Amino acid sequence: MRALRPVFAFLFAAALGALAADGGAGLPTRAPAIAPAGQDARGTTAPLTREQFLAALTRDLAAHFNLDGDLQLELLRPWSPPARVAAAWSVQVAEYPSLAASSMLVRCRVLADQTVAAESTLVLRAMHWRDAWVTRFPLSAGAVFDPTQLETRRVDLLRERDAVPAAVGDRTYLFARALTAGRLLTWHDIARRPLVKKGEVVEVSAAEGRLLVTMKALAMENGAQGDTVTVRNPESQKNFAATVIDENRVQVRF
């Protein structure tokens, strides 16, 4: 192994020489630092712009309400930026509305270099854009949810509150009623498909550590995936609760 060390040292030195000759193109580079709002890459001071203010407010509200998709905000009253410059600007929401809506009242403060520069109450118009399901063909009630029968459309979920986002939907759902083509799918149009049906025999599993026990039982009610249903031991005639995990399968959890 000692005899090989000079060889490794030679190869390492050769590799460094090749990188240097190439102008360091093969070496990993560090990403440039991102300047805070109101500050350029050189660290100079700047005023707070309307675009920066709205962008910070949008990020805060989207995170607070856990909104997937694109949130867009519009100020419904005139807004004037603080009459000063700063190296770093930040926006803090002091009072949130109870829920995200197409019209919201928000109280916030603007910090310039960590010092409060302005406080105001804003009236906002909000739009939450996200892909939602639209029927491509007429669908019959009771049919299993099938994404190939649907297409997507960009909608404002703050106005179309019942629309089903395109991220939702699989074979654990069914269409609860007949639908015409071109219809925006709503939560009233779908239902969880019962994987366990009343009166049918189901397989019950119970696990504790490495011990797994299975048995047959009679379902006393319908249940979709994740539902807790009552099942009956056919021998003892005793009822107990179990969780639906798959088609005609339930599990007892301790």
The pLDDT of residue 43 is 60
Structure tokens at 35: 């300047």
Query: Residues in the chain with pLDDT < 70?
Result: 1-43
Taking CA atoms, 52 is separated from 42, 44, 63, 88, 105, in Å, by 18, 16, 17, 11, 19
* Distance (Å, whole) CA 31 – CA 110: 29
The pLDDT of residue 127 is 98
User: Are β-strands 228-232 and 239-246 bridged in parallel, bridged antiparallel, or unpaired?
Assistant: antiparallel
pLDDT, tens digit (0-9, with 9 covering 90-100), for 203-246: 999 887 788 889 999 999 999 888 999 999 998 999 999 999 98
pLDDT, tens digit (0-9, with 9 covering 90-100), for 153-173: 999 999 999 999 999 988 889
Delimiting residues of CATH 2.30.30.760 domain(s) in the chain: 201-252
The pLDDT of residue 30 is 33
Which of 3.40.50, 3.30.450, 3.90.1210, 3.30.565 would CATH assign to domain 129-192? Answer: 3.90.1210
Delimiting residues of CATH 3.90.1210 domain(s) in the chain: 129-192
The pLDDT of residue 171 is 84
Which of 3.40.50.150, 3.30.420.40, 3.40.30.10, 2.30.30.760 would CATH assign to domain 201-252? Answer: 2.30.30.760
The pLDDT of residue 10 is 38
* Distance (Å, whole) CA 241 – CA 90: 52
